[in-house]
Copies of this chain bind each other. A is one copy, B any other.
Amino acid sequence: MRSIAIGLLGAGNVGCGVLRLLEDNAEAIAARIGARVVVKHVLLRHPGARRAFDIPASAKVTDAQTVLDDPDVRVIVEVMGGLEPARGYVMQALAHRKHVVSANKALLGTHGKELFAEATRRGVTIHFEAAVAGGIPILRTLREGLASDRILGITGIINGTSNFVLDAMTRTGASYADAVQAAQEAGFAEADPTMDVSGVDAAQKLALLALVAFGLRVDPTAIPTEGITRVEPVDVQSAAALGCVIRSIAHAELVDGRRLRARVHPVLVPTLHVLAGVYGSYNAVLVNSAALGRSLYYGRGAGMMPTGTAVVSDLVEVCRSVVAFADRGPPPEALGTIADVVPISNGDERHENYLRVRVPNVPGVLAAVAGCLGRHGVSIKRLYQDPRGPELPVDMVLVTEAIEDVRLRGALAEIDALETTLVPTMRLRLLPPEPLDG
């Protein structure tokens, strides 16, 4: 049986997961590819570090050029993370006509345009299943399982840290700060969780999903993005009273067949909605497509072995192409065209909205808030206000009827300009219930 040599850039948790899976499943993988995968080089930045996998000394290298310049190496697996030197290494690998498998969403989100253009120029492919939702085979499904379908929209819970935090607040009544600490202690949040809780990580993943789903490339920083840092226990409790849980979602949809709408933000999800059942650090992607309708893909969005499975399944696919198309260039879809787009404004989108306005317990505040809403044509559907002591601020909780976003924002600007509004008003969209069409 022939062999295919690969080079691994990085041997942290994910890299060691990849090595473990390749070793444990060597026979099955060889049978599937029709060739053996040989890890010829593993590039280490910290050669002396303790690792979860015992790397043979003969494979360890500390000079990237040993890997990138080796003509034997057909596929580079980049699991080092970060922007540089990863970007430079991947560019070199592509220039040497090596296929690339990457788990690096920041790299692809930031430098994707340059990298994919180079891959196309060189007739090689970049696979990145592990960059989007860890072990969930969502990109493969979009590309292959729904190959004959048209994707209309995607709604995902694709940041495990945010979901863990919101889920912990829901289950235990914890404050945001305590829930973040619990996530850190459980290993589901970084020491600095900013990228996750701000929505930036989800926006990067959403851009990659949109690329595969729609063939549209968007700069992740151009996606309207709200984090979860302002969610308070009162919001979680009010959501429960409304039959909802709070989840942070990333949403993208096609408008008029070629324009992209995209956003990342926390949202109220009805408890019977399939996305409400996504607990802890799990991820899920709900796909709406023309022929299949609604379908959902759910699983672990991070972790050494889940992410490792995604990297290895990409590697298997690439190696199958190497075997099959060896002397005839890459598989045809590698040459597909991609359009660069800017997301359209979300101002005309209609949602019901949850508003939490913090005011002093004095007469007249409701009239003032209601006046702001009324002037912008926003109708109130429900209203709660918990009694408090006379000295304490009060949280007015309102649910609006469906209203264009731009009008709601006008009303919010007025409300937040009132002298009686103590903190910026919390606004969360309501996700509609699932269609009960059978």
Contacts and interface: CB of A to CB of B under 8 A. Distances in A.
A298 to B, nearest CB: 4
Nearest to A148: B312
A272 B277 contact: yes
A296 B295 contact: no
A42 interface: no
Interface in A162-197: 164, 186-188
Q: Which of A31, A137, A276, A317 has the most CB of B within 10 A?
A: A137
Given A324-B324, A434-B279, A148 B29 contact: yes
A55 interface: no
A316 B279 CA distance: 35
B291 A144 contact: no
A316 B333 CA distance: 12
B28 A148 contact: yes
Nearest to A150: B25
A313 B146 CA distance: 7
B150 A146 contact: no
B291 A188 contact: no
A231 interface: no
B32 A332 contact: yes
A9 B71 CA distance: 48
B332 A31 contact: yes
B148 A137 contact: no
A25 B295 contact: no
A164 B295 contact: no
A313 B137 contact: no
A332 to B, nearest CB: 4
Contacts of A146: 137, 309, 313
B188 A281 contact: no
A88 interface: no
A257 interface: no
Interface in A115-147: 135-137, 140-141, 144-147
3 pairs of A and B residues whose beta carbons are closest in the complex: A137-B145, A295-B299, A324-B324
20 contacts: A21-B149, A21-B291, A24-B150, A25-B149, A32-B332, A137-B146, A144-B313, A145-B309, A148-B312, A148-B313, A273-B277, A274-B278, A279-B434, A280-B438, A289-B309, A291-B309, A292-B300, A294-B299, A295-B298, A296-B299
